[in-house]
Structure 1
């Protein structure tokens, strides 16, 4: 048997062996020869592992939007304020963690941090599964678990910062759109799947018994968390075996912090909050708003529709932006957002649920398109090593919409018994965003055409 052939002069063979042993030595996606011969394959492999990992992160982040609604039905005795806090905590913690997670791929390596951050999702998934089985579990314990779900929200920034490095500028919009868009579908998935799995005894006899509702129906609230444990473990292993750390992506926090001195970091944070902040905030508020304004409608049956539409079209927004420019797409998209929000107000006043639903779905559609388009703008405005942390930081700021938009709706309903005031404030924000986008990025002599 033994060695059949030995060719120490074959440098190509040795380069391949060194790559296998020591990882990627060089990364230059703008070099078309490198991209077609090697880079494209590696980038796509990392993207298609990153996408389901981010999908699961969004599921864990938003799991309390459904679990909190079911707790008291299952025998807990939390106040409405406590339940709202449980639903809001993942948004607050997730948005804050995004600020820090933004810089982690540059410090630890994209593959390494994906493994760590995906594994961390097991903490709330397993914890919630056991905690909800005991109706004596304290609110403090539940609040800690809700806060841990913020890890899922934080993962978005590190995921986007990592994937941004892999693709050439001409494909960043599409790649970022696919990563974020399919990842965002986790919001819709958890709102659709959770009501189904908690009514089946998938883990009965293994991970606890059922709760008996007042109606006499059995529910297994723990399934809402346990059903995601195996997928999380699988994705953690896939990331460990199939992803890569890029050699030129490593940089210290100090090197990345230069983004805070660039005014476009803050301008793009404003614009991304306009679209993603709206998407995630409306996703959190949509069922509550339906219940408040149209109490005769079953809000939980329709809650997943908005996030589904917004997430599904995000890759389309990135793809169109790759073709005609992110600023142009964003500018015209904001105009439609203003029109759709005006339509929501009109049909609310008319008490026409069909019109309200259609206008809101159009609004979700526009948030998705703008999400993809604005993330296409960032890699054009910033050089690669700045673009990655800017993507993460803008995502961090925008994520606070998950908390503030529901709060603004709640405030509007409390003082006027109507959501109109909140919607007028959102229109004002969109009008300002339209002016900002036009002045800095889309007009003829704009400072930074993109």
Structure 2
């Protein structure tokens, strides 16, 4: 029966996986993607609401950047409790609740979106949309438990990519509303999402499952926090996902503020980057499955630094065509990097199990336990990177009237991420002696493969 608690789940067992596990996992993945997709759309709602806010709203560009930064911050912080809610309440149960909860921020936005509403009210409603960002953490933790290690890059990439597409989809919907009804009708966009939220909650209730073996483990959370790799991966995820969500929320406003685009012109360009970045995320996971997440992540950060250099040059020269080329390339690279970095997390903790002398199912169980706990923290800190990008843009436009200084800071950060990836996961230690206790034929950790 759909929605039941599954008592036994062993995706690393090939027979179990082929006879029943894969079918169940794929079904849960499909409904997880849709629910997370709607969550991302609601989370990014204010990235398009600000395009509807003309002079009659009395909110300047700095105030608009702060609105989207508020949504980003709440969405990042709420990821931590959402991660552990899956084990506490069950993946299906929590998906139903978290999807239905989206009615609150969407309904509130529908009521307040009109001239004359106070800025404080807008700020509070923007904060409410942060619950949509939490759906990512619970969805990824849930799907991580369904799939075997060899399939995680693809599964997590598809789950996250399908969710990420919620950003460009709501931006496309905003373009449709602005292009047909005009910028004075934001409620048309919000109203279209209310029934979709209900569909997401019902789909999860009828077709998803809870995994009984996934139990809340506060010890795993403490252990993950003590593990240095959790913090290293958090830094790298700031560079990939933090960039994706920060740029997605700010792109349209940057086009309006720096290049003087109208709401319709901005909306017609805003969706392209997030759409490509979302579609390519599963490709990043597949490449990581094949070549190793660390290698893909390293070269991805090199390319992100190069693309940011193009954006800086275009910003200085006020060249919109070159700016768009560089910025859209950045979006594509953030998507690839999102897929490769998230693939690294389960592999890293699997290697930690090998370092401890574990093998087989014991190593796989340890990897699932620690990686599931770590994903919540890494996802939350990555989301805070989006906040940093929004605040950097706000400060740059306040002081200089352009985003050039912010982009220069992002370029420096990508170079740091490149160096960290190489130093921690790819650099070969000089003359490192083999552990005395190791035996020939034992599995050894290889971080270049994660």
Q: CA deviation at 1:22?
A: 5.8
Q: Does the CA-based 8 Å contact 1:129-1:224 persist in structure 2?
A: no
Higher helix share: 2
Counterpart position of 1:443:
427
Counterpart position of 2:309:
342
Comparing 248-257 with 184-193, greater Cα deviation is found at: 248-257
User: Which structure has the larger Rg?
Assistant: 1
For 1:190 and 1:132, how far apart are their aligned partners in 2?
A: 16
Give 1:197-236 correspondences, 5 Å limit. Answer: 197=177, 219-236=184-201
Counterpart position of 1:351:
318
For 2:243 and 2:420, how far apart are their aligned partners in 1?
A: 17
Give the alignment partner of residue 20 of structure 2, picking from 33, 38, 56.
Answer: 38
For 2:230 and 2:393, how far apart are their aligned partners in 1?
A: 28
Counterpart position of 1:193:
173
Q: CA deviation at 1:173?
A: 0.4
1:128–1:20 distance in 2 versus 1, CA, 3 Å:
closer
Counterpart position of 2:76:
95
For 1:341 and 1:76, how far apart are their aligned partners in 2?
A: 33
Q: Does the CA-based 8 Å contact 2:238-2:386 persist in structure 1?
A: no
Matched, 1:47 2:29: yes
Matched, 1:412 2:396: yes
Instruction: With the length of structure 2 as denominator, give the TM-score of the two structures.
Output: 0.86
1:236–1:143 distance in 2 versus 1, CA, 3 Å:
same
For 1:431 and 1:403, how far apart are their aligned partners in 2?
A: 20
Comparing 52-61 with 284-293, greater Cα deviation is found at: 284-293
Q: Does the CA-based 8 Å contact 1:69-1:83 persist in structure 2?
A: no
Higher relative contact order (CA 8 A, sep 6+): 2
Q: Does the CA-based 8 Å contact 1:275-1:368 persist in structure 2?
A: yes
Comparing 40-49 with 362-371, greater Cα deviation is found at: 362-371
Comparing 342-351 with 191-200, greater Cα deviation is found at: 191-200
Counterpart position of 2:231:
266
Q: CA deviation at 1:403?
A: 2.0
1:23–1:410 distance in 2 versus 1, CA, 3 Å:
closer
For 1:20 and 1:420, how far apart are their aligned partners in 2?
A: 52
Give the alignment partner of residue 206 of structure 2, picking from 219, 235, 241.
Answer: 241
Counterpart position of 1:112:
93
Counterpart position of 1:320:
287
1:260–1:279 distance in 2 versus 1, CA, 3 Å:
same
1:198–1:359 distance in 2 versus 1, CA, 3 Å:
closer
Counterpart position of 1:288:
253
For 2:121 and 2:392, how far apart are their aligned partners in 1?
A: 27
Q: Does the CA-based 8 Å contact 2:39-2:135 persist in structure 1?
A: yes
Q: CA deviation at 1:242?
A: 0.9
Q: Give the gaps of 5 or more residues in structure 2.
A: 350-366, 430-444
For 2:177 and 2:226, how far apart are their aligned partners in 1?
A: 48
Aligned residues: 415
Q: Does the CA-based 8 Å contact 1:67-1:224 persist in structure 2?
A: no
Matched, 1:425 2:392: no
Counterpart position of 2:131:
151
Instruction: With the length of structure 1 as denominator, give the TM-score of the two structures.
Output: 0.86
Q: Give the gaps of 5 or more residues in structure 1.
A: 1-18, 202-216
For 1:65 and 1:411, how far apart are their aligned partners in 2?
A: 18
